[in-house]
Amino acid sequence: MRKPLPVPTQLVAGMSHREMLDIMAENGVFCSPDRFARILQDAQRRALADQAMTKLTEENEKLGLYNESEKAA
């Protein structure tokens, strides 16, 4: 007998609880949904930080506030 699913929540930005459980089942992930949510949240934070850094670098280059010699340091 299956336990009813909780109401969809935003455990991970843009993903419902059901979507997260489907991803886990499709990929053979065998851990608690809470642990998997933390893993996905960490991955999202890293991706967003990378996007922000890329955008910041591009904006600084446009404004002339960034140059190659600073990148090496």
Length reported for the chain: 73
Distance CA 70, CA 33 (A): 42
Residue 8 CA to residue 5 CA, distance in Å, equals 8
Q: What are the two backbone dihedrals, phi and then psi, of residue 58, each rounded to the nearest 5 degrees?
A: -60, -45
pLDDT digits (tens, 9 = 90+) for 44-69: 888 888 888 989 888 888 888 766 65
Distance between CA atoms of residues 70 and 54, nearest Å: 15
- Give per-residue pLDDT as tens, 7-45: 444 456 677 778 888 888 888 888 888 888 888 888 888
**Domain residue ranges of the chain, discontinuous segments joined by +:** 17-67
CA atoms within 13 A on the CB side of 33: 17
